[in-house]
Structure 1
Amino acid sequence: MKDRLVYSAYATGWAVLKHLPEPAARGLFDQIADAAWRKRGKRVLQLEANLLRVHPDADEARLRELSRAGMRSYLRYWMESFRLPTWSRQRIARGVLVDGVEHLSAAMESGRGAVIALPHMGNWDLAGAWVASHVGYPFTTVAERLKPEKLFDRFVAYREGLGMEVLALTGGEVSVVGTLARRLRAGKLVCLVGDRDLSEAGVEVEFFGERTRMPPGPAALCLRTGAALLPVTLWYEGPVMRGRIHPEVLPPAGDGERKEQTAAMVQSMADIWAEGIREHSEDWHMLQRLWLADLPLRESAAAERPFAAPGTEPAAEPAGS
């Protein structure tokens, strides 16, 4: 019954919201965000705890201002995602402005392939649709299985409709890591979300002065295949989503072990993301516990995951819960 209710809620969102005028849809989701923010459920409180790590000098009024803006940004992601399948190429083009595309073009034109690695910022689905439709690079990504299965299948179909090849993180008949490596060796593009990994396989990094874990997958794949590792940050600026493709993160000089090289590259990505999150923290959709100091032992000892799956954690943990 719970699975049917969850699926029905998402199906209704897809069916109804795509027909609403955009200002009405945005106003509705702002109201939902504000209601969740006023309720001050555990996700809002966790968002504020995370934002306090980003802005340790923020007073209570500033923190509440940031968390309210953060909830509106998070619900904007969902509003856009429900409507995105109906957007034309022209509408996508009007809604996205990205700096640093030359870094991606250089990597792809060289035939090396590239891994775009993102934190949970802005709307990664919209960014993916823009890359596929306007930069001209279809790509492969990974999705964690959701319950109910029908909801997962619908998310996969939705993302494939935007120009993505979607691999299931678990339960598939092919090796996810092996498939991603083959795509990169063929000079293709891979996109992965990489700012949260609670498993023992995660690489410990310093993030805003405290320790957390991030997935090694993006960096490890690049070391294995010779592909370029390109961190990306996203944020909203009025009606437009802005983005920045940062210069390639290179392996450290010298002949260090692969594990040490991977860890150094993950830390470099974390530093780049931290700068972007500090500048646009209201668009960082981290409503879950992130730092090791906040994690119970059972959560920090989760099963191994070599990389994060994009957009799945928010789907499993709705706003206001």
Structure 2
Amino acid sequence: MALNKDRIEDAFLRLMIGAVKRVPYRARVRIFGWLTGYVIAPLAGFITKGVKNLQLIFPQMPRAEARALARRVAINFGKTTIENYSKEELSEVLRHCRIDGPGLADFKAALAEGRGVMVVSGHLGNYETLRVAIHNMGYPVAALYRPAKNPYFNAHYKTTMESLTGPGFDQGRRGVMAFVRHVQKGGVAAMLFDVRATRYGDVEFFGHPAPTSPFPAEISLKTGALLLPVFCHRCEDGIHHEVHFETPIAHSTAAEMTREMTRRLEAQVRRFPDQWLWIHDRWGTEKQRAQRAARSKEA
């Protein structure tokens, strides 16, 4: 039964993507954003989840405001999804977008020296644009990703991701080892670290503990790679993007480097609250938060 459900969901998504890709790029992005914000996200419960997360972090925010913000987040996510299935057009758009920041010179210097670069970012704007922008500069980018629960969707999701910029490695043992080797050899790798990684300890994010993987910092320390936060923002026209290379995070301990990564991301989310993925389970449910707190006290 589950497999049939997965097949149906995947077929529906493929049908929508295929239909929307028949229209010009700008209209395609806007249409899929609208479909996600007003059809898919409400049916999937993403708007409700976004409201809960927003009111956890901003308890004084009126529910109507939180709901409107969660819908804008879902629209951005829909735009991001169809952009990533439109590789050629997205790549061309990025050739005319602003790509800057104090860390850009550090990035190029490290690669010129044969030193690997571990790029870290979060689910902000179209987070894949950082990889496309770097690829446009002539540097293939490896990605570490969490496989989607739907195996049919995951198959074309991985193919699409790799077609954008370079190899994609899943978070299994072999994938992780290959990912680390890529950095060790002086390559560029990118990772979104703001997923709910329950096997690791908590890092404070917006004043609440959030389970966070120190893996990017550990790779950087192990390989000597530059640890470089890079963040993407969608411009007001909804089509163009900005990619900002921040100053590198100095090597210290994995724990402190992870806290600094989190502080950098929080600052960006405060600037662009409707572009971060509030609709995912960053802090978990109230029950899950209470269970982690209880285990922390026992430890």
TM-score by length of 2: 0.84
> Which residue does the alignment assign to 2:297?
none
What is the distance in 1 between the residues matched to 2:291 and 2:35? 29
| Letter aligned with residue 218 of structure 2 | A
> Which residue does the alignment assign to 2:23?
20
Residue in structure 1 matching 2:117, options 110, 114, 117 = 114
Cα distance, 1:221–1:296 mapped onto 2, change above 3 Å: same
> Which residue does the alignment assign to 1:247?
247
How many Å apart are 1:263 and its aligned residue?
Answer: 1.0
Deviations 1:49-98 (A, max 9, x none): 3233554543344323322322221211122123x234274333135644
What is the distance in 2 between the residues matched to 1:178 and 1:15? 35
Q: How is 1:156-305 mapped onto 2 (pairs within 5 angstroms)?
A: 156-170=158-172, 175-200=174-199, 202-238=200-236, 239-252=239-252, 261-291=253-283, 294-296=286-288
What is the distance in 2 between the residues matched to 1:236 and 1:88? 12
SS across alignment from 2:27: helix
Unaligned runs of 5+ in 2: 293-299
| Letter aligned with residue 123 of structure 1 | N
What is the distance in 2 between the residues matched to 1:147 and 1:33? 19
Cα distance, 1:44–1:128 mapped onto 2, change above 3 Å: same
| Letter aligned with residue 203 of structure 1 | G
SS across alignment from 1:137: coil
CA contact (8 A) 1:51 1:281 kept: no
What is the distance in 2 between the residues matched to 1:284 and 1:46? 13
What is the distance in 1 between the residues matched to 2:194 and 2:291? 16
Cα distance, 1:3–1:108 mapped onto 2, change above 3 Å: same
Cα distance, 1:296–1:127 mapped onto 2, change above 3 Å: same
Cα distance, 1:67–1:40 mapped onto 2, change above 3 Å: farther
More divergent stretch after superposition (103-112 vs 204-213): 103-112
Q: How is 1:29-48 mapped onto 2 (pairs within 5 angstroms)?
A: 29-36=32-39, 39=42, 42-48=45-51
What is the distance in 1 between the residues matched to 2:157 and 2:251? 34
When the two chains are superposed, the root-mean-square deviation of aligned CA atoms in Å is: 2.8
Cα distance, 1:299–1:23 mapped onto 2, change above 3 Å: farther
More divergent stretch after superposition (47-56 vs 290-299): 290-299
Residue in structure 2 matching 1:72, options 61, 71, 75 = 75
CA contact (8 A) 1:211 1:292 kept: no
What is the distance in 1 between the residues matched to 2:49 and 2:141? 33
CA contact (8 A) 1:219 1:266 kept: yes
CA contact (8 A) 2:17 2:82 kept: no
The number of equivalent residue pairs is: 287
Unaligned runs of 5+ in 1: 253-260, 301-321
| Letter aligned with residue 249 of structure 1 | I
Cα distance, 1:130–1:4 mapped onto 2, change above 3 Å: same
How many Å apart are 1:235 and its aligned residue?
Answer: 1.7
What is the distance in 1 between the residues matched to 2:25 and 2:154? 26
Deviations 1:139-160 (A, max 9, x none): 1112333355443222222122
Percent identity of paired positions between Structure 1 and Structure 2 = 19
SS across alignment from 2:167: strand
